[in-house]
């Protein structure tokens, strides 16, 4: 009889722990735009580790958009404080060392959704396997000609971030660095993907 009376309290305790974890350890987000294609697709649901707020190069973070902190963005960390980041004709350099990238031979295309109308458009692209600090992932370029970006030094306590959809990402190349205190957490996993 006593064992039966304990179970409701155990269930309540587990529920309380899950609620605490939901607001202090894990963050849940839905991807609204295509700047992280092909890694994250529009409509993907992700979970971030809110305890990991000091990401390394190559990791994906969710952060408060520096120009409007009420908005959250998701991008890949390319440079950390003290790094120099540059793009030469489409090739990424970190601290004057070219980041390893290999052109994929398979055909590349993706669909993006226009936020205002909801219309889907298919784009042709070139896929590259990029490796930064031992982390490998795929990026895409939609322009044939490689675009350049002048060398910038990342200030201490800040991050330089870019989307994996390199030619269609509003990122540090346009609005600057992400302060460390704007980082909400690091990507833990995709728990639901609309495209896979």
Residues with catalytic function: 35, 75
Contacts of residue 19, defined as CB under 8 A and 6 or more positions apart, other chains included, come to none
Instruction: Report the length, in residues, of the chain.
Output: 196
Within 8 A by CB and 6+ apart from 173, the residues are: 87, 149, 162
End-to-end CA distance of the chain, in Å? 48
* Contact indicator for 170, 194 with CB cutoff of 8 Å: no
């Amino acid at each position: 009889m006593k064992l039966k009376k304990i179970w409701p309290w155990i269930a309540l305790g587990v529920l309380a722990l899950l609620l605490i974890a939901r607001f202090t350890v894990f963050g849940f987000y839905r991807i609204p735009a295509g700047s992280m294609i092909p890694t994250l697709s529009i409509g993907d649901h992700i979970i971030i580790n809110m305890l990991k707020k000091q990401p390394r190069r190559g990791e994906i973070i969710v952060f408060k958009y520096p120009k409007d902190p009420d908005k959250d963005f998701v991008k890949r960390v390319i440079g950390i404080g003290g790094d120099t980041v540059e793009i030469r004709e489409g090739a990424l350099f970190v601290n004057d060392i070219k980041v390893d990238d290999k052109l994929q031979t398979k055909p590349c295309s993706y669909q993006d959704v226009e936020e205002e109308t909801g219309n889907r458009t298919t784009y042709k692209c070139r896929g590259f396997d990029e490796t930064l600090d031992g982390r490998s992932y795929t990026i895409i370029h939609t322009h044939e000609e490689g675009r350049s970006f002048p060398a910038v030094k990342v200030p201490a306590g800040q991050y330089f971030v870019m989307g994996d959809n390199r030619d269609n990402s509003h990122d540090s190349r346009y609005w600057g660095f992400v302060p460390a205190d704007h980082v909400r957490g690091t990507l833990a996993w995709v728990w639901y993907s609309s495209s896979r």
